[in-house]
Structure 1
């Protein structure tokens, strides 16, 4: 038989252990918050670094990539290759591809680089030229604005 004092001592020791383990469990999520924030920042950095760059490395690459995007109906890929305000380039590219395919009438659409400043678009029996320009990053893009002549 145990004395009342001994039982009380065991009970208090047990309650201390319980309180300590509860306190430990309560603080554990606070240690996880910085780890979650760090993982989120790393994820964002990887996503930004992995994002495709606008334009192509050369006029020939531009023509090849643009022809592939048009053939596949890839409006997102085509929007990266055009010199157009980025907030509206997706919608414009989608509408442009629809117009090209309807003008082609089922025949393949081809984009060729003629020189470092002009590309030729062939859709069905129609041919027209687009200006090729370098963006601020030195990458080549199709421009829908006419080239500005110097010397005026």
Structure 2
């Protein structure tokens, strides 16, 4: 669903498959922007919010007997338990940043305001007309990834 927002920008609640592919396939040389894209992609494959990403730690990663890796976490906003099976791309993103950890947190997240600013730059680089926001990753998970 696309609607026209401020300044004539196209606003969307989620990325459609073509936009998501553009996001995945665009080469981004800037490390900060690349990292921001990876965090957005991780959230798009897990449905985790920015707040939940910030609290995600080793204790939330559970390997089941069948070898699958899961996130088991209490959502910060709703206090409900959330169980998410990790797909390969999400596991790859965890592994990519494993050596950069400064604590038990899975990711060293930058501030939300910097993340949002970076997403605007990423959208431009990728040719995505939508007003890209971090929250869109959750909706992308629910509509583009899960369906």
Q: TM-score, normalised by structure 2?
A: 0.27
Q: TM-score, normalised by structure 1?
A: 0.26
Q: Tell me which structure has the larger Cα radius of gyration.
A: 1
Higher relative contact order (CA 8 A, sep 6+): 2
